[in-house]
Amino acid sequence: MAQAGCRLKPVTDPRDWQDFHRIRHTVLWVPRGRTDYDANHPDDRHPDHHPLLLTDGDTALGVVRIDDRRDGTGIVRLVAIVPEHQGRGLGRRLDEAVQERARQFAIHTLHVNAAPDVVGFYEATGWHRFTWDAAELVGHAADCIQMRKILMP
């Protein structure tokens, strides 16, 4: 798989939405024993929320959603890379692409609720532990570590 062909694209057509939800469900819900995945959750369709699909040609490799808070900050949500492509640098490529896209939205600071098992990845890619909204740490996010990344212009 050539990473050079990877691109981050908005989720727009029905096939994109199918891939987007399939990846999130199988990577983030099923392994954690969760059964409450909602493919029709209104947050995915909010006008300031941007569901994105990492692709290589017609192959969907990963997903993320950037929630633009409209104050120069954004929240990175529900990041996932398909298991058969994990460990190949796609997480780093996705992180770089998210930063590029965030800058297009005039976002200068990104926040994330990182699952404990991926905090090391975020720290290795320039994120820092930072409590940005403790009220977010409920439900599925109760054990998450809040982090932020200030984007360079």
Domains of the chain, each with CATH number or no CATH: 3-150 (3.40.630.30)
Could you give the CA distance from residue 81 to residue 54 in angstroms, rounded to a whole number?
8
pTM of the model: 0.93
pLDDT tens digits for range 31-50:
988 899 999 999 999 999 99
What value does the mean pLDDT take over residues 149-153? 91
| pLDDT in the model for residue 140 | 87
Integer Cα distance of 94 and 77 in angstroms? 12
Residue-wise pLDDT for 72-101, tens only, equals 999 999 999 999 998 889 999 999 999 999
| Confidence category of residue 70, pLDDT binned at 50, 70, 90 | very high
Q: What is the largest CA-CA distance in the chain?
A: 41
CA 27 to chain centre: 12
